Chain A
Amino acid sequence: MIRRFSADVAIVGGGLVGSSAALALRKAGLSVILMDKGFCGAQASGVNYGGVRRQGRSVAQLPLSQRAHQIWPRLKELIGIDGEYQRSGHLKLARKPEDFARLEQYAETVKPFGLNLELFTGAMAKTRFPWLSGNVAGASFCPDDGQANPRLVSPAFAKAARDAGAIVLEQTAVHAAVRTSDGFALQAGTDCEITCHFLINSAGAWANKIATDFDEPAPLSRIYPSMVVTEPLALRLPVSLGEEGGGFYCRQVQRGNYIMGGGRGYALIDPDFSRPSTAAALAVMKRATTLFPHLAGAHVIRFWSGTEGQLPDNNPVIGRSGTTPGLFHAFGFCGAGFQVAPAVGAILCDLVTSGETATPIAAFSIERFHNMPPQHNKKKGTHNEMVE
């Protein structure tokens, strides 16, 4: 028995981008069908570090990031839970003087965007943040950046979309998508046929299939974060923290666990599954004991990884297709998609409903890869706070 669905918009990929787009489109009155090959928010959107951070982003991403910054405090109203979001501040540490020089340069560059960065020399940083130890050459603090629980936030967006009337099909992979005279026809799962006017490709690390189907493959590769979590401990680390130029980031959740990451995991034989690497985990554990001597007696209880799309210039693809009217892409967030994702959903809604958006996204056009020779995706990302 074939199940047939028809909707104004079909969304492929129920991560935070796809789910927030589904919710925004429903609120704009469009009918929506949201599909995920697994469970909504179970991949990179749900297993990332949970940093909600503007600091450190490229200038091109800051308008987008600022738009998202307005959305995060409204989670309760939007999705029914606050998702443990808090504006705890984000502290970027410099291990060496040259790292601190880069932080100073960055603060100067982004001044027009109003992040209100505060710079500290090493000694000042330890006075202002007395729980800090180890070699710290300086630090940059963004007081209104913060953190949230991706495990809760991402599935909650999908649930809110469903509650708002979107059809959500989980464990339903899209096998084929073709352009028709008035939109698209999709085949999904074992028995679903879908027709729609607009198609959104937000399939994360798996997004290149649809991009390729419509003749615009992107040089998308995969990265795997390597995460470590401790047992719950007394609350002591009030900020989310990352290191400039080095692979360490850490926050303490409300329950008391320290979540820390750095370095990369690796893919299993089935590349849809990944594991954290022991070498990366041990390096992170060692750095944590240097920065926070109070963790000397603590235990780690779990490592994990995830699968995230990476693009060569460390910027995502967001916007209309260069080949196919009615198709929109949003993928390849290079380990830094969590904070911006709710704004990306809103932008996709703008594009579908009005054909344009007030947020500058020209830098993210998929067309920047149109004339790129294949095999050009060798350059590794230099961004170190993977899947934040």
Chain B
Amino acid sequence: MNDTLPPVIVGAGPAGICAAKTLVAAGLRPIVIDEGFRAGGQIYRRPFVDDGRSATDLYGSEAAKATRLHREFDGLLPSIDYMPQALVWNIAGNELHLMADGKHHQIGFQNLILSTGATDRILPFPGWTLPGVYTLGAAQTALKVQGCTIGRNVVFLGSGPLLYLVAWQYVKAGGNVAAVLDTAPFSAKLNLLSAFRFDPRLVLIGMSYAARLVSRGVKIRYNVRPTRVDGSQYVEGLSFKSGTKVHSIACDAIAYGFALRPETQLADLSGCTFRFDDRDRTWLPVTDEAGRTSSQGVYLAGDGSGIAGADAAEISGELAALALIQDSGTTVDPGRMSALVKARRRKAGLRDILEKAFPFPDNWFDQIPGYTKLCRCEEVTVSTVIDTINGGELRELNRLKALSRSGMGRCQGRMCSAAMAEVLSATQHLKLADIGRLRAQAPVKPLPLLLQEGGS
């Protein structure tokens, strides 16, 4: 094996940036592969072109952090090999397969830090595939990167900290927010009070979004269940249940999501062992507190190793890099490592409370009509999935995919597997932990058939 292979970092959000910074400080020259076109990741995503908006316009209370991370990364550029707009779509043994400039490249590695982040966790309801329905993350990206809103009059729906953050960002940018519809009861928010001891600043900021939304006249409703998107060709409104009553609200776009789900396909392809995580309701790669996985030389950092947020991602990025350095035989400051581990535990404690304040909606499918599409890529309905489960007495997720086609399309289950798991577990009265997980298959995202050999 070649001893001189540089370490590779996949992803350039807060975790990837901090990992790169730590490796460079130790005298290493990492390769940083970023699907984005400028470093920052999802949370600190930068516009395509400078459009005069300030860091505060873009990142609000997190402007200082965003500015610092961007500046730090830009300062690293002479000391790293940065590949923006590059998609790692497969890991085969100790080789990364990626697409950059429309060409295929292979990069060998000995040490790899995966900081692949997360996407919105979504659940189907009637009309969710209509044009005009976006995830909260997509609504935020439109604003940050392209400087536009997803509609003139937007309803924000779901659960999770992003719900209030993005709604407030829209209001602040001059957008019209028709309503914020929270699927959790107001009482859940009282859990935030116990988060004070972990991070009072974050709690205050979080609560202030709701207060500021109200002060701008935005209606917030709790304990809501959407019944359908109104409109036949595009979004014209949203009907929802609050208590026993069904209400309708006019809007031309809907942003929704239920917290985040980690992107773990590359960890899976690299052979990492997984465990079921009750809090994230999904399977996560097994890591130690520094981010070491069961695969030699593979480290995880950021939300891709379990949802913990941007500040935790900075910590876990540095930790993973320090672990990598340590495992390569160089001494690292043990005090620094244990301080980071402690800080990471505190963030995990905070995350436990956030999960209670923004809970996943229970029994979602009790009120979802069978004709609702569950898998939008393959157009598989909820009733088809349930019939397939019952017809074959299915108890395993990959089997459900094979027999129902759900999860077989362009997204390979990235968008619908949470819903598939919920339906399977509810229909068969099985725990989510007991129905298996979809095995990752390359490519993790679609590739052009014309992909040509580039080089290594």
Binding site for B on A (CB under 8 A): 39, 42, 46, 151-152, 155, 159, 230-232, 255, 268-269, 275-278, 282, 285-286, 288-289, 295-304
Q: Is B60 located at the chain interface by the 8 A CB criterion?
A: no
| CB-based contact B402/A151 at 8 Å | yes
* 13 pairs, CB–CB < 8 Å, chain A vs chain B: A151-B402, A151-B403, A152-B403, A155-B402, A155-B403, A231-B409, A255-B378, A278-B97, A298-B448, A299-B447, A299-B448, A300-B443, A300-B449
| CB-based contact B442/A301 at 8 Å | no
Interface of A is mostly: mixed
| CB-based contact B443/A303 at 8 Å | yes
| CB-based contact B402/A302 at 8 Å | no
| CB-based contact B410/A299 at 8 Å | yes
Interface string of B394-427 (1 = CB under 8 A from A): 0010010011000011101000000000000000
B453 touches which of A277, A282, A296 (Cβ 8 Å): A282
| CB-based contact B392/A46 at 8 Å | no
- Closest chain A residue, CB of each to CB of B92: A278
User: Chain A CB within 10 Å — which of B391, B403, B449, B451 has the most?
Assistant: B449
Tell me the minimal C-beta distance from A90 to chain B in angstroms: 23
| CB-based contact B441/A302 at 8 Å | yes
User: Chain B CB within 10 Å — which of A269, A278, A288 has the most?
Assistant: A278
| CB-based contact B392/A159 at 8 Å | yes
The CA-CA distance from A342 to B334 in the complex, in Å, is 65
Tell me the minimal C-beta distance from B58 to chain A in angstroms: 32
| CB-based contact B450/A296 at 8 Å | yes
Residues from chain B with Cβ under 8 Å of A304 in the complex: 441
Q: A302-B408, A304-B441 are in contact. List 20 more A-B contacts (CB 8 A).
A: A39-B396, A151-B402, A155-B392, A230-B449, A231-B410, A269-B271, A276-B442, A277-B92, A282-B453, A285-B450, A286-B452, A289-B450, A296-B449, A296-B450, A298-B449, A299-B449, A300-B449, A301-B443, A301-B446, A303-B443
Q: Is B90 located at the chain interface by the 8 A CB criterion?
A: yes
User: Chain B CB within 10 Å — which of A282, A295, A302 has the most?
Assistant: A302
The CA-CA distance from A299 to B87 in the complex, in Å, is 14
The CA-CA distance from A277 to B92 in the complex, in Å, is 8
In this complex, the interface size class of chain B, counting residues with CB under 8 Å from chain A, is: 20 to 34
Residues from chain A with Cβ under 8 Å of B412 in the complex: 301-302
* Residues of chain B from 344 to 400 with CB closer than 8 A to chain A in the complex: 378, 391-392, 396, 399
The CA-CA distance from A88 to B347 in the complex, in Å, is 59
| CB-based contact B442/A278 at 8 Å | yes
* Residues of chain B from 318 to 357 with CB closer than 8 A to chain A in the complex: none
Residues from chain A with Cβ under 8 Å of B442 in the complex: 275-276, 278, 302-303
| CB-based contact B443/A275 at 8 Å | no
Interface string of B258-281 (1 = CB under 8 A from A): 000000000000010000000000
B443 touches which of A42, A286, A297, A302 (Cβ 8 Å): A302
Tell me the minimal C-beta distance from A253 to chain B in angstroms: 11
User: Chain B CB within 10 Å — which of A42, A288, A300 has the most?
Assistant: A300
- Closest chain B residue, CB of each to CB of A276: B442
Tell me the minimal C-beta distance from B224 to chain A in angstroms: 35
Q: Is B104 located at the chain interface by the 8 A CB criterion?
A: yes
The CA-CA distance from A225 to B104 in the complex, in Å, is 21
| CB-based contact A301/B402 at 8 Å | no
B449 touches which of A232, A269, A276, A289 (Cβ 8 Å): A289
**Given A269-B271, A301-B410, A302-B412, A46 and B453 contact (CB-CB distance below 8 Å):** no
| CB-based contact B396/A285 at 8 Å | no
The CA-CA distance from A289 to B443 in the complex, in Å, is 18
Residues from chain B with Cβ under 8 Å of A295 in the complex: 449
| CB-based contact B403/A285 at 8 Å | no
Residues from chain A with Cβ under 8 Å of B378 in the complex: 255
A303 touches which of B396, B408, B410, B441 (Cβ 8 Å): B441
A300 touches which of B271, B392, B446 (Cβ 8 Å): B446
